[in-house]
Structure 1
């Protein structure tokens, strides 16, 4: 469900820390350490430009960089659309991208999941690749392509907590349509401040984020 609230959020240090605190209790932050080079699979030509446009919009909001290609990987933000998780088992080399692919697919089917992301990191802990999978069908077929892409891009630009978007979308509704929620957009911008490290495992990092958020 998309959050209807577009009010300017009031941040606290604890709230900022929660964006990156995992179920395990560990604080784990990472942003992209290189330009994002997206590619989209499984959609019709008329949807491709819409989806790529939504991805580019999210990248611009964050203040990250976008590129046509990645010199190491070619494309480093891969977004796959399909109707059945079992389709992943037939994709060549998918097992190289997703370890224990068969077990992962079985888990996603059991959970009736509609989305899954797998990240890869460089030697400094920054994101170097993200594989995003979206299973269509049911209510998902009624969601506009740009809304799905904007939501997925927002979630791919940072290593968010595994809890933060389980109950609510990173998007909000406006008269003009769906946009990235103000709090999420602000955290994205602050996270890409070049003064901050691209990766952090100490919760004191959240205080540095908080300082930038309240400074506006």
Structure 2
């Protein structure tokens, strides 16, 4: 993967560059699924954290859980979740907008004072298309897209996953970017596109 390709993964629609990783251990909690799917989601985060070298924990001292994953069949269900509007400002208009767009997933990130990720809210509307996706694939995809603050258009043309013998796996090039981004020698947050060159150099060094 070239530096230009890496830069594109973190260049947003407005042209700004922003790469941020988690600044604290990840503590996921999942709503709206059975225990089997819950285990798959947590397992996916464990796998991605193991890849990146980042840690998970049993509890977040500030929030209890800092990755909240919601599965539902209708966007309107979110407005009925107790206290969610306190965690997600302007929840009602957001739900209306996403429903109008026929969206089936949405992620919100919160950041600490230094700009590192401190929390994430993942909303997954199980529409017809989502119902076709195997639970393991869906879980891995969400974990990968949450481990870093990717561009809003990073994976619009190509998924971060690939098929190997019929099983969804993380693409090696994306895995390399994640490992490099979590290298302790690099900053947790970067807003200059030159950071892509540093990521590229770390990818080569880690190979």
Match of 1:214 among 198, 204, 207: 204
SS at match of 1:123: coil
SS at match of 1:151: helix
Is the aligned partner of 1:13 residue 2:14?
Answer: no
- Where in structure 2 are the equivalents of 1:85-100 lying within 5 Å? 85-100=75-90
Please give the alpha-carbon distance, in whole angstroms, between the structure 2 residues aligned to 1:176 and 1:136.
22
Match of 1:67 among 57, 74, 87: 57
Please give the alpha-carbon distance, in whole angstroms, between the structure 1 residues aligned to 2:166 and 2:25.
29
User: 1:99-146 deviations in whole A, cap 9, x for unaligned?
Assistant: 211111111111111110000000000000011111102121122211
Q: Deviation at 1:167?
A: 2.5
Match of 2:192 among 194, 198, 202: 202
Please give the alpha-carbon distance, in whole angstroms, between the structure 1 residues aligned to 2:155 and 2:59.
29
Please give the alpha-carbon distance, in whole angstroms, between the structure 1 residues aligned to 2:144 and 2:34.
22
SS at match of 2:79: helix
Q: Deviation at 1:62?
A: 1.8
Q: Deviation at 1:156?
A: 0.4
Stretches of structure 2 lacking an aligned partner (at least 5 in a row): none
Deviation >4 Å, runs of 4+: none
Please give the alpha-carbon distance, in whole angstroms, between the structure 1 residues aligned to 2:51 and 2:69.
19
Residue matched to 1:169: 159
Match of 1:119 among 105, 109, 113: 109
Please give the alpha-carbon distance, in whole angstroms, between the structure 1 residues aligned to 2:167 and 2:114.
37
SS at match of 1:116: strand
Q: With structure 2 as the length reference, what TM-score do the two structures score? A: 0.96
Q: Deviation at 1:202?
A: 1.1
Q: With structure 1 as the length reference, what TM-score do the two structures score? A: 0.92
Please give the alpha-carbon distance, in whole angstroms, between the structure 2 residues aligned to 1:172 and 1:34.
29
Please give the alpha-carbon distance, in whole angstroms, between the structure 2 residues aligned to 1:55 and 1:82.
20
Stretches of structure 1 lacking an aligned partner (at least 5 in a row): 1-10
Q: Deviation at 1:80?
A: 0.7
- Where in structure 2 are the equivalents of 1:1-216 lying within 5 Å? 11-175=1-165, 177-215=167-205, 216=207
SS at match of 1:202: coil
Please give the alpha-carbon distance, in whole angstroms, between the structure 2 residues aligned to 1:151 and 1:39.
16
